[in-house]
Amino acid sequence: MTSLESNEKKTRIVIVGGGFAGLNLAQNLYKTKNYHITLVDKNNYNYFTPLLYQVATSFLDPSSISYPFRKLFRDKNINFRMAEFLRVDPATQTIYLSDGELQYDQLVFAAGAKTNFYGIESIEKNAISLKGIDDALKMRNALLTTLELAAKATDLAERRKLLTIVVAGGGPTGVEVAGMLAEMKSYILKKDYPELKNAKGAIYIVDGSENLLSPMSDKTHSETKKAMLDLGVQVKLKTRVADYTDGIVRFADGDAIEAGTLIWAAGITANVFEGIPLASLGVGKRMKTNEFNQVEGFENIWAIGDISVQITDPAYPHGHPQLAQVAIQQGVTLAKNFLAVEKGKAMKAFKYFDKGEMAIVGRHHAVVDLFKHKVHLSGFAALFIWLFIHLVSLVNYNNKVRTLYSWAVAFITRDQALRMIFRP
């Protein structure tokens, strides 16, 4: 009873979503005794989004990039609730979940974004997207199943179609997926599938802009395209995928390709929740916030990470990019502001510090732009930075060791023994 009474006197902070933003907020608040913190997520684990594509292409095991929340929060002043968020009632400060309800004093949305299919039903129905562990395993199963079908196909045209893959989206996810698939085609396909040794089939990467990794520097644009072509990936720019039906990918420019697989990495849109009015939503259905990440129209509802858009930063008048670093920094800043208010101090406006952008193309090539494109790196130096940053960003020591071991095996042998089809 004493414990319950003690909790009732604390400020109840409910965090919806345990990704980069939500996790960093919780882990920077838990040491104070004045907050009762509850993190709500539909999964019971946190996962490292930038490496999902390596799970999808059988180079990493899911456990290498994920970790259970309850073990992360062990011996910390953080409560966990596995449930799906349904709606919020701001008038009563209540959120409704798939398994009940919760009262809050401060509500923080950190629920991220989902795949944006731009209203194209055929693509949503037939393409493979990549936003979570479930998606990564689905992609892995689909790719491996398609290879098995191609291995026993007797019609050469059907085999070529099955072995043709189109990756829609020239951002980091699309580039890294296409590069990994090209590596598999060059070094693994002929070993595991001798029936396909001389089989035809191609990997395409498609984007509507003039360059791959378009937000990055001109040097990155040219180096990335060259690396893709060297890997045997066909690059198709300044057009978009318009339809995918009956194994035919149709483009906005009228072209078409027969392909057994369309991987959709062409955009995201924020998750939307009942109880937040349309007037509080901005571009990409992201919640509009002030400089402190406070949702417009509310005093005690906040949004951080991909689900929020903040246009008060003069350096980013259209909102910050939906990147992991933005989410991490917003989570840390909001935690500092909560702690400042607790001490009677003023909050500080969020300012994004751009640490740079990076991507890896295949096994050997990486590109890194630092300090708003003032410094560009490629080759071994960029590869080392990419590996180091991704390794240290994993949430647990066990994840770091598993991932480093898997990378070492894959780099030395150009192979990995994770190509199993596990069906739920």
> Cα–Cα distances in Å, from 227 out to 143, 235, 361, 363?
23, 11, 7, 11
Are 242 and 189 contained in the same domain? yes
Average pLDDT of the chain to the nearest whole number: 93
Residue at 311 is within a domain: yes
pLDDT, position 350:
96
**Final residue of a structural domain among 225, 241, 266:** 266
pLDDT, position 364:
79
Are 150 and 201 contained in the same domain? yes
Are 127 and 260 contained in the same domain? yes
Phi/psi at 109 (nearest 5 deg)?
-90, 120
For residue 168, with 0-12 CB atoms within 10 Å meaning exposed, 13-18 middle and 19 or more buried, which class applies?
A: buried
Model confidence at 145: pLDDT above 60: yes
Please report where in the chains the tokens 């930063």 appear, as a residue: 313
pLDDT, position 3:
47
> Cα–Cα distances in Å, from 413 out to 183, 194, 416?
12, 18, 8
Give the whole-angstrom CA distance, residue 87 versus residue 58.
Answer: 37
Give the whole-angstrom CA distance, residue 105 versus residue 136.
Answer: 36
Confidence of residue 6 (pLDDT cuts 50, 70, 90): low
Model confidence at 372: pLDDT above 80: no
pLDDT digits (tens, 9 = 90+) for 162-198: 999 999 999 999 999 999 999 999 888 888 999 998 8
CB atoms within 10 A of CB 230: 13
Work out the average pLDDT over 103-126. Answer: 96
Give the whole-angstrom CA distance, residue 224 versus residue 217.
Answer: 11
Give the whole-angstrom CA distance, residue 284 versus residue 198.
Answer: 44
Identify which of 175, 130, 151, 421 has the alpha carbon closest to the alpha carbon of residue 260.
151
Are 242 and 336 contained in the same domain? no
Work out the average pLDDT over 393-401. Answer: 89
**Final residue of a structural domain among 321, 342, 363:** 342
Please report where in the chains the tokens 């406006």 appear, as a residue: 349
pLDDT, position 7:
60
Residue at 374 is within a domain: no
Phi/psi at 53 (nearest 5 deg)?
-65, -25
Work out the average pLDDT over 259-269. Answer: 95
Which is higher by pLDDT, 362 or 157? Answer: 157
Residue at 385 is within a domain: no
Are 128 and 212 contained in the same domain? yes
Are 62 and 88 contacting, i.e. CB atoms less than 8 angstroms apart?
no
Binning the chain into helix, strand and coil, the percentages to the nearest 5 are 40, 25, 35
Are 225 and 235 contacting, i.e. CB atoms less than 8 angstroms apart?
yes
Give the whole-angstrom CA distance, residue 387 versus residue 405.
Answer: 12
Work out the average pLDDT over 57-74. Answer: 94
State the residue range of the domain holding 110: 2-42+83-115+269-342
Work out the average pLDDT over 291-316. Answer: 94
Confidence of residue 412 (pLDDT cuts 50, 70, 90): confident
Q: Indicate the angle between helix axes 218-230 and 172-187, nearest 10 degrees.
A: 20
Are 189 and 285 contained in the same domain? no
Residue at 132 is within a domain: yes
Give the whole-angstrom CA distance, residue 77 versus residue 392.
Answer: 24
Residue at 180 is within a domain: yes
For residue 179, with 0-12 CB atoms within 10 Å meaning exposed, 13-18 middle and 19 or more buried, which class applies?
A: buried
CATH code at position 180? 3.50.50.100
Are 144 and 165 contacting, i.e. CB atoms less than 8 angstroms apart?
no
Residues 6+ apart with CB under 8 A from 361: 175, 176, 179, 224, 227, 228, 231, 367
Residue at 226 is within a domain: yes
Q: How many domains does the chain have?
A: 2
Give the whole-angstrom CA distance, residue 112 versus residue 363.
Answer: 29
pLDDT digits (tens, 9 = 90+) for 41-65: 999 999 999 999 999 999 999 999 9
pTM: 0.92
For residue 42, with 0-12 CB atoms within 10 Å meaning exposed, 13-18 middle and 19 or more buried, which class applies?
A: middle
Are 136 and 231 contained in the same domain? yes
The residue count for the chain:
424
Residue at 64 is within a domain: no
pLDDT, position 250:
97
Model confidence at 30: pLDDT above 60: yes
Residue at 209 is within a domain: yes
Are 139 and 230 contained in the same domain? yes
Return the minimum-mean-pLDDT range out of 40-49, 172-181, 312-321, 322-331: 312-321
Are 103 and 160 contained in the same domain? no
Are 132 and 243 contained in the same domain? yes
Are 262 and 153 contained in the same domain? yes
pLDDT, position 332:
97
Model confidence at 2: pLDDT above 70: no
